[in-house]
Amino acid sequence: MNRAILLFTTMSCFLDQIKVAYVILLGFVVPIGMKWVSLIHGVAESQTFEMLTGSVGVAFILTGLCLGVAGNSAVAGGRGGECLPLLFTRPLTRTEYVLTKWCAIALICGLIAAAQNLVVALLGMAFGEEWTVSLILGQMLERFLDAGILSAAFMLTIFARHWLFQTTAIVAFYVWLIGQTLPPVSVAGPGTVGGDQVSLGATDLLLKASQLIGDIILPTFHVYDAVNAVHFPWGEVLSYVSMTLIYLTFAVAVTNKRDFFYGTN
């Protein structure tokens, strides 16, 4: 773990105006605003709200925090962000850089998402919603875990620039997004026939497929459910840990293998 990378990554998340504005807007203003409005008007929370306060919300926050990480879209040149060729001339291994960066980003993102969940819970409690300490803590811990696996996947996609991998990663991200956001209620309907039945069947299939793919590529460990379950879900833990390790291992391998210089390609 490199102290300089850890310190300056943290500072960049809190001092870079673009990142701060992005995180405040998507992490707090929009979801908490939605919660506030729904509480005032006594309406049920929307799918969008669920999105912004769950693992998808973590992904949105991460996108903001990762702006400029490793030069982001222009890693080879390091333009518009960290000057990677310059950093890598210092006595710092690329493995050390990737792992420290992952650790810093995951912790900061987890912290922001957990703070968001806490504010939402406190706001709900103020309006009479029932929240328990274990539920709040469980949700907060879940956000840290979401941030852990998502930031590992982000690090890999930032460093592995092969077009085939990039295309696959973008498609996989959208499939995961569909699995997280499609409302399951739309596939109910026992009385439907003909074209409607085919349509509902197709939607059901799409939803199940995307959820399955999502569970494989970005598995979630449900902390509150696990704590209250009769049998601890070791399978969930194993799949979460193994996928995080796979992303990190590949991110390290790709970073160690590739060239980092000024647009010489």
Partner 1 sequence: MEESQTCVEVKDLVKTYQRGQVRALDGVNLSVLAGEVFGLIGPNGAGKSTLIGCLLGLLRPESGSIRILDKPADYLSIRRITGYVPERPDFEGWMTGRLFLKYHHMLSKCTATTRSSDIEESLREVELDPSAWDRKLGTYSRGMLQRLSLAQCLIGSPKLLLLDEPTLGLDPTGVAVVRRLASSFRSKGVTAIINSHQLDEVERECDRVAFMRQGRIEQVENLRNSPVGSFPLFVRWTDGETISNNTANLAALAQSLGISIKEANRCWARFVVSSGAQAAQLIALLIASGYPVEEAVSERARLERLFDKRLEDAPHE
Q: Which residues here bind partner 1, judged by CB under 8 A?
A: 2-5, 7-8, 11-12, 15-17, 68, 77-83, 85-93, 257, 259-262, 264-265
Our CB check for partner 1 shows the closer of 95 and 199 to be 95
Our CB check for partner 1 shows the closer of 7 and 209 to be 7
Angle in degrees, CA 189, 216, 244, rounded to 5: 145
Minimum distance of partner 1 from residue 28's CB (angstroms): 20
CA distance 21 to 29: 10
Minimum distance of partner 1 from residue 14's CB (angstroms): 10
Minimum distance of partner 1 from residue 253's CB (angstroms): 14
Our CB check for partner 1 shows the closer of 6 and 32 to be 6
Q: How many CA atoms lie within 13 A of 108 on its CB side?
A: 25
The two structure tokens encoding residue 212: 């399955």
Our CB check for partner 1 shows the closer of 31 and 81 to be 81
Minimum distance of partner 1 from residue 66's CB (angstroms): 14
Is residue 39 a contact partner of residue 131, using CB atoms and an 8 Å limit?
no
Sign of the torsion angle spanned by Cα atoms 17, 8, 170, 34: negative
Q: If we measure between CA atoms, which residue out of 203, 169, 222, 241 comes closest to residue 55?
A: 222
Minimum distance of partner 1 from residue 116's CB (angstroms): 23
Is residue 123 a contact partner of residue 35, using CB atoms and an 8 Å limit?
yes
CA distance 152 to 107: 12
Our CB check for partner 1 shows the closer of 92 and 111 to be 92
